[in-house]
Amino acid sequence: MVDSDKSPALGHYNRGAEEFKKKNYAESVRRFKMATDIDPKFYRAWAYLAMAYSAVGKIDEAIEAYRKCIDIEPTYHKAYNNIGELYRRKGLLDYAAMVFKMATELDPNHPHYFYNLGITYFEIGMLPQAGEALAQAHKMEPNDFEFASELAQVQFNLKKFDDALKTLSAFVEAAPDHDRVPEIKARLMMLKRRAEEEKRGGGAAASKPATETTD
């Protein structure tokens, strides 16, 4: 990796980062590519090149750049998470789940990695695994609406109505001023009714698609 401020590769990398912040993605692609051409082991330049490719819709090129980043620095967990998002966008959910899992193993303290893993498991239909991953995300950030909402949805689909009630109640307690609290309270009332129906031998839970995340 380049570590000298006088390095031409680092100069192109820094200029590429500036252009990326300005949303001049085509120019940032050119600059990051120049950086990797000069120093093929500059893993952060490969990672930013992947982000720039993704921003201009070149998903396959972005995936390849992330793979090169990972080849150079196998412990760079952000690359695993980001390549997982790209696999999801292409509908390659099994591959996405695999690399999201790697991201959680490399950095088990990052709730968004567990969230991404959980919603991917949900989309695959692996509900117990989705519940476990989303529970980890919710445990780390109980006041995050998406974490609580998706976990409760999985618990609902598994007919674990009491658990879903606890999840949503914990969110309301952790974030009482959140603008989605009225929605959560309405869902709590519905869940209480469904839990009572289930205890009396009522109907099955309906399915709801997971909410997609952004890169």
> DSSP of 168-190, one letter per residue?
HHHHHHH-TT-TTHHHHHHHHHH
Name the residue with higher pLDDT: 115 or 7.
115
Domains of the chain in start order, with CATH, are 1-65 (1.25.40.10)
Instruction: Output the pTM of the full model.
Output: 0.84
> pLDDT of 19-38, one tens digit each?
999 999 999 999 999 999 99
- Measured in residues, the chain has a length of 215
154 Cβ neighbours under 8 A, 6+ residues apart: 118, 122, 127, 130, 131, 134
Residue 77 has, within 13 A of its CA and on its CB side, a CA count of: 15
pLDDT averaged over every residue in the chain: 90
**pLDDT class of 187 with cuts at 50, 70, 90:** confident
pLDDT > 60? residue 214:
no
Output the DSSP codes for 89-151: HTT-HHHHHHHHHHHHHH-TT-HHHHHHHHHHHHHHT-HHHHHHHHHHHHHH-TT-HHHHHHH
pLDDT for the residue numbered 202? 53
DSSP 8-state class, residue 159: T
